[in-house]
Amino acid sequence: MANVLIGATGSVAAVRVPALFDALTAAGHTVKIVATDAATYFFDTAPFRGLGSRPSPLAGEGGGASPPGEGGAGLR
């Protein structure tokens, strides 16, 4: 299956991130979410922690993304 990266910004479209994440992981894909702090206003990040995804903030938002192989710092 594919490795998928979902990028979310502070747009109202970010409300669809949870449904997209669920659909992709149900199909067997590995999913990583990268979101700005503003994007997290539109969805709860807690369900994505520890579910095979490695959510992390975008560079310049909360300290930057984690280096490869170190997992995500977690969404804020």
Rounded average pLDDT per 10-residue block, the chain, 76 residues: 93 92 93 90 81 49 44 46
pTM (predicted TM-score): 0.64
What is the predicted pLDDT for the residue at 6?
93
- φ, ψ for residue 3, nearest 5 deg: -95, 125
How far apart CA 55 and CA 72 sit, in angstroms, is 5
What number of other Cβ atoms are within 10 A of residue 73's Cβ? 15
How far apart CA 54 and CA 43 sit, in angstroms, is 16
What is the predicted pLDDT for the residue at 45?
84
3-class SS at 23?
A: helix
3-class SS at 57?
A: strand
